[in-house]
Structure 1
Amino acid sequence: MRIKHLIIFLLFSFVQVQLVQSQDLKQNINVHDPVMIKQNNRYYLYCTGKGISVWSSKDRINWKAEPPVFPLAPQWAVDAVPGFKGYIWAPDISFSNGLYYLYYAASTFGKNTSAIGVATNVTLNPMDSGYKWVDHGMVIRSEAGKTNWNAIDPNLITDNEGIPYLTFGSFWDGIKIIQLKADRLGVEGFLQNPQTIASRGDKANAIEAPFIFKKKNYYYLFTSIDYCCRGKESTYKMVVGRSKLVTGPYLDDDGKSLATGGGRLVLKGSENWYGVGHNAVATFDKIDFLIFHGYSALQNGAPKLLLRQISWKNGWPVVEEL
């Protein structure tokens, strides 16, 4: 009987793996830094690309390419970031009081002369008569030689009182958090040196892509560590910490602060995926999903969209291994 049960278990596991791989293949679109939201009966995916790449879907599996957010590079970003030509990084989408807010970053690889901007829209459906992205320009910037942080990878989070905060950062002095004005279009007060809430604590400081998700009594800070964007050589992986305050401190399950190199592992690469990271978290039909990209071993390291359902165990997010 034990052998019979073992065979059944192995067959079930094989079928489960095949189903996951099959879904991954159906989601076979090239994306970097995805974030997802739902309006009415359609899902919208925003990711790094020329003018911000946009996809839509009815089932989160079959995706249709939509027009980019910006047909031309925002002029303010061209002026603020030498070398920027309209390839926009790591958008973040949220909804509040009848408006969709889309934060985005303008930068050039390996430099911290960067800027984060924001645009708003009343609808995400390009076919709606009211569809029009209104760009509000720069929210925050970093400058090489002047700031020891990098204004990319924005993510909006509101606290229990509805106060908006923006997290951002990549390498340099790690992940930062700032309070925004009530209209979410600018920084509240005078900005000098934003608070660091996550850092690897070493010289390279390979950490970026913050995303804060509120679940019950905790804020969960997800970040990506090690190296993206290297195809087969990518070592990206995701870690998480939690705090009862949006501004931290964020601690892992061993009690170590993310600001000093802590972080509970969420997901890493495998023989099928060289590296995985830059995640968002979204809730659809009361189910939480981890939304991220992975570098496919089957497709020569191409970055692909991946989704995994999150289960919560002992107050921590858990997803199936790849």
Structure 2
Amino acid sequence: MIKRSKKNVTLVLLSALLLLMAAFPVNASTRALSGDIGVHDPAYIVENGTTWVFSTGQGIQVLYSSNGTSFTRGIQVFATEPAWWSQYVPNHTKLDVWAPDIYYYNGKYHLYYSISSFGSNTSAISLITCTSIAKGDWVDQGVVVSSNSSSTYNAIDPNVFADKNGNLFMAFGSWFAGIYITAIDKNTMKPTGNSYRVATKSGGIEGASVIYNGSTGYYYLFVSIGNCCQGTNSTYKVAVGRSTSVFGPYYAKDGTSMLNGGATVIDSGNAAWIGPGGQDVPSTNLIVRHAYSAADNGNPKLLISDLYWDSSGWPYYN
């Protein structure tokens, strides 16, 4: 029989505890991701245990993961450019597609996306649908909303969400006159009625993502402020405001209306991850975004974090 001293047993138990803590870190709020995690403006959804992330890029870029942490690049959604794109955005660059958003409703996955040209508000938000992301049986549903040089708004960065009663809405917009929200018809999954401006900010605002938190009774409008797309020189930040109504007014934590530039910054990045933004908030306990990696020459990477709520009903994450 092998005899072990109390000291040896203690060391064995301590080693086992350290291994367990490494595997399941206490208060770990940001996932340790691996594989191909290059994204910009990620949109997140889980289908039958598989995590899917759609993002800006050629034909809409796709990542997938069986465990939510190790990702593989899939086949882009569009292999060729639909002919009607050029009708709405004549200067569009081939298969360059921006800021998709994915929403499951009534047995279908609805993938919204933007086509535009940088610095212009000649843009269009469009929609394709499928019954299974894994199967990839996508059907083109055409344009959702468009804008041109005579429009005040910019038809990019769609985000579809439900209110507390299950009615559907879409937030969209950018620098050009800010962020708008419009009601969505559940039959067509396209806008019905007017669009209402809910946020503006000098120096840049875009990438809206809205969610209702039943625990606090507020709608939260997450936005990206500042400049994207400049690698480690990007100044993107994730900011938020809240309202008791879908159409606002939304207020920052200091009481400033988002229509007057108010926005409470909750992530300004750090030395490793610069210019976080393009966020998607798929639930009240999760936030997904990109940031520019200082370790990888400023290339944008996927970040996924647990979302928390403080005692005053404001979101935060680590």
Alignment TM class, shorter chain as reference? 0.7 to 0.9
The match for 2:295 among 288, 298, 315 is: 298
The separation in 2 between residues aligned to 1:115 and 1:319, in whole angstroms, is: 32
Query: How do 1:111-122 residues align onto structure 2 when only pairs under 5 Å count?
Result: 111-122=120-131
Distance 1:132 1:114 in 2: 26
For 2:313, the equivalent position in structure 1 comes to 315
The 2-side partners of 1:179 and 1:282 are apart by: 19
Query: Is 2:74 the partner of 1:66?
Result: yes
Deviation for aligned residue 1:274: 2.1
- Among residues 139, 143, 147, which one is paired with 1:142 in the alignment? 147
Q: CA deviation at 1:56?
A: 0.8
CA distance in 2, matches of 1:136, 1:221: 27
Percent of matched pairs sharing the same residue: 38
Q: CA deviation at 1:184?
A: 4.0
Alignment of 1:138-217 (within 5 A): 138-144=143-149, 146-189=150-193, 194-200=195-201, 202=202, 204=203, 206-216=204-214, 217=217
- Whole-Å separation in 1 of the counterparts to 2:211 and 2:105: 16
| Residue 66 of structure 1, CA deviation | 1.4
What CA distance in whole angstroms lies between the structure 2 residues aligned with 1:109 and 1:257? 28
1:76 aligns with 2:74: no
Unmatched runs of 5 consecutive residues or more in structure 2: 1-20
Q: Quick one: structure 1 residues 16 and 296, their matched pair in 2 at CA, closer, same or farther if it must change by over 3 Å?
A: farther
CA contact (8 A) 1:49 1:89 kept: yes
For residues 28 and 119 of structure 1, do their structure 2 counterparts lie closer, same or farther at Cα, with a shift above 3 Å needed?
Answer: closer
CA distance in 1, matches of 2:173, 2:30: 32
C-alpha distance in structure 2 between counterparts of 1:21 and 1:47, whole Å: 19
2:38 matched residue in structure 1: 30
Name 1:104's counterpart in structure 2.
Answer: 113
Q: CA deviation at 1:308?
A: 1.3
Report the Cα distance in structure 1 between the residues aligned to 2:307 and 2:259, rounded to whole angstroms: 24
Q: Output the CA distance in 2 between the equivalents of 1:260 and 1:270.
A: 27
> Does 2:138 correspond to 1:133?
yes
Q: Which has the larger radius of gyration?
A: 2
Q: What value does the CA root-mean-square deviation take over the aligned residues?
A: 2.1
Aligned residue for 1:169, secondary structure, equals strand
Mapped contact 2:31–2:69 kept (Cα < 8 A) = no
Deviates more, 1:157-166 or 1:116-125: 157-166
For residues 212 and 272 of structure 1, what CA distance do their matches in structure 2 show? 27
Cα distance per residue 1:13-46 (max 9 Å; x no partner): xx979x889925x265210000110111111111
**Cα distance, 1:124 vs. partner?**
1.0
Residue identity in the other structure for 2:107: G
Match of 1:6?
Answer: none
Assess, with a 3 A threshold, how the Cα gap between structure 1 residues 148 and 311 changes in structure 2: closer, same or farther. Answer: same
CA–CA separation in structure 2 for the residues paired with 1:59 and 1:279: 21
Preserved contact between residue 116 and residue 141 of structure 1 (Cα < 8 Å):
yes
TM-score, reference length from structure 2 = 0.86
Alignment gaps of 5+ in structure 1: 1-11
TM-aligned CA deviation for residue 305 of structure 1: 0.4
Equivalent in the alignment of 2:9: none
What is the number of residues matched between the two proteins?
291
